[in-house]
Amino acid sequence: MTRLVNIRPGRAGRIIAGIVPIAILLLIYIIASDMRHTANPNDKVLPTLGAMADAIARLATTPDPMTGRITLLADTMASLYRLGVGVAIATVTALVLGLILGVVPLMRATLGPIVTLIAVIPPIAVLPILFIVLGLGEASKIALIAIGIAPYMTRDLAAYVSGLPVEQFLKAQTLGANSWQLAIRVALPQLMPKLIESLRFSMGPAWVFLIAAEAVASDIGLGYRIFLVRRYLAMDIILPYVLWISLLAIAADLILHTLSRKAFPWAHGDAR
């Protein structure tokens, strides 16, 4: 008797299994939207697919009369710039600190409590402080993303390095390796796949911090646009923007996953 836990769908099966729930959700939305518009043709809560397509096409092709910019493109570029810089700062910081804390027990005992303290502080609560200290410009938004995900990534990477087999470090020391060589030649190569994995898991919170920062103080960006048009119940713009953010997040995750598999194939076994 074939047990459910032993059924492994092939590539086509996985694609179909993934599409079916999305198709069902879309069908439910279409039915609900049609019912609401039958009762009230001016309903704004659940716009039709046609209304959303018209709204997003207008934002993607028509220049804004005030700025002369294509709204969707300008919002996307602004948000991706903030997200990219913030994530890059957090990744470099986490890699360096995670490596040091994982390899050197003395540094782990010294800096570990500070990293833990920062990690438990809700980043959104720090946002007013960042606005006061760094102003309302790009720096405060980028800092929120970096501060929001760097401590989590640092703790994750430090725990991974400290959990590496101690025999590896002992053998390297018997061959004459110093502390620097232990970190660079032994720990770092094994840490790189874990860094990409930690970054993939941190992208969700990074998007949350980006949208929160743009919603409070910004004049351009995906989060800014969503919170701007909500005043007019413009769900025909909000829903496509949310879908666009989701597609960007999925694309980033696929790129990181592919990069990890190509660069470090030894770190990817036959996952269930």
- Give the model's confidence band at 266: pLDDT under 50 very low, under 70 low, under 90 confident, else very high: confident
The CATH number of 73-264, from 3.40.190.290, 1.10.3720.10, 3.50.50.60, 3.90.45.10, is 1.10.3720.10
Tokens of 202: 């941190």
The percent of residues in the chain predicted with pLDDT above 70, rounded, is 98
Which pair of structure tokens corresponds to residue 272?
């269930």
- Residue 160: strand, helix, or coil: helix
* pLDDT higher than threshold 70 for residue 271: no
Contact (Cβ atoms closer than 8 angstroms) between residue 222 and residue 244: yes
What is the pLDDT at residue 1?
66
The SS3 call for residue 218 is: coil
Q: What percent of the chain has pLDDT over 90?
A: 58
pLDDT digits (tens, 9 = 90+) for 83-104: 999 999 999 999 999 999 999 9
Q: What is the mean pLDDT of the chain?
A: 90
Predicted confidence (pLDDT) per residue in 123-173, tens digit: 888 888 988 888 888 899 999 999 999 999 999 999 999 999 999 999 999
How many residues comprise the chain?
272
Burial 30-43 (b: 16+ CB within 10 A, else e): eeebeebeeeeeeb
Q: Return all residues near 154 (Cβ < 8 A) that are at least 6 apart.
A: 93, 94, 97, 98, 101, 115, 119
Write down the pLDDT at residue 270: 53
Q: What is the model's pLDDT at position 13? A: 87
Alpha-carbon 172 to chain mean position: 36
> Rounded to whole angstroms, how far apart are CA atoms 155 and 119?
8
> Rg (Cα) of the chain, in Å, rounded?
23
**pLDDT tens per residue across span 61-70:** 888 888 888 9
Enumerate the domain spans of the chain: 12-44, 73-264
84 neighbors 145 (Cβ within 8 angstroms): no
For position 233, what pLDDT does the model report? 81
What pTM does this model have? 0.86
Using alpha carbons, list the distances in angstroms from residue 60 to 72, 74, 77.
5, 10, 13
The predicted structure's pLDDT at residue 42: 84
What whole-number distance in Å separates Cα of residue 258 and Cα of residue 242? 24
Residue 63, helix vs strand vs coil: strand
pLDDT at 78: 94
CA nearest 148: which of 115, 116, 113, 122?
Answer: 122
pLDDT tens, position by position, 30-40: 999 999 998 88
